[in-house]
Amino acid sequence: MNTFKTLFSSALLAGAGLVCANANAEMFWSDNSISLLKNASEYEVNEHEDVVTVTLEHASGHNWGDLFFFADRLDYKQDSDNQAAKETYSELSPRLSLSYVTGNKLGYGIITDVFIASTWEHSTFESDGFSNSFDNYLLGLGADLKLPGFAYANINVYQANNEQTDNDQQLTLVWGYPFSLGNADFMFDGFIDWSSAEETHKADFHFNPQLRMDVGKYFDVPKKFEAGFEYSYWKNKFGLDYPGLDTESTFSFLVKVHL
């Protein structure tokens, strides 16, 4: 295990130790959901015309910080140009509040708290006898932002330890903005990732918003069932920089059920 992985593991263990040692640790809120997505346009980098994605997601807020986890299971259907393939991609992202650690409220202006931020990325890909997997570890600092009208917004800056490419830096923005049009309620949320260029890869930029309508409210189960679409724009996906095989711009239809 290299130095960065040791530091990553030590930070997680130290954070877990602080939480376990504090008898006052409590959860403020949590949400679990499952989503089904079907692409409406071709994935340029993987070039498959028919891709179905099932996503399991967990988010929770605690007095010690917050936790986000998701797992995507992607089913790439065989077509005239491509073999069938399956991919599982997941991220586990705990953040430890420095206000909780220090016992002092840390914040100024629009910044409401500061965090030690971490992420573990895991991926497996299988297609016609070929398989690949990787684990990336990210560690850095994050902040919660209080912005008018937003349900939440945060920013995180990481140093990434990548298994298959040069290590780089990553900036992540996350937001959720609820709004209403007439009697219809919507949520516009998503994330932006930017990773720096290094010797083995180009800088990449990923803009991934979702727009969902609360369909459940019309069946007396508000905020339980949503439908809408997702857009993924990924410049130099995976750090690639080959004309015609580098940038993804894909719409997907989606339904989401909160459990």
Q: DSSP string of 31-60?
A: EEEEEEEEESS--TTT--S-EEEEEEEEEE
- Of all helices (H) and strands (E), which one includes residue 107? none
pTM: 0.87
Model pLDDT for residues 137-189, shown as the tens digit of each residue: 999 999 999 999 999 999 999 999 999 889 999 999 999 999 999 999 999 99
Q: What is the pLDDT, as a whole number, of residue 15? A: 61
What pLDDT is recorded for position 164?
87
pLDDT at 13: 64
DSSP 125-162: EEETTEEEEEEEEEEEEEEEE--TT-SEEEEEEEEEE-
Q: Give the fold, CATH level 3, of 3-258.
A: Outer membrane phospholipase (ompla); Chain C (2.40.230)
Identify the pLDDT of residue 167.
Answer: 92
| pLDDT score for 3 | 66
Domain boundaries, the chain: 3-258
Give the residue ranges of the chain where pLDDT is below 70: 1-7, 9-23, 42-48, 80, 238-246
- What is the pLDDT, as a whole number, of residue 124? 94
In whole angstroms, give the CA distance from residue 42 to residue 203: 23
Task: Indicate the pairing of strand 65-76 with strand 85-97.
Answer: antiparallel
Q: Are 176 and 189 in contact (CB under 8 A)?
A: yes
Tokens found for residue 88: 């599982």
Predicted pLDDT at 179: 99
What pLDDT, on the 0 to 100 scale, is given for residue 201? 80
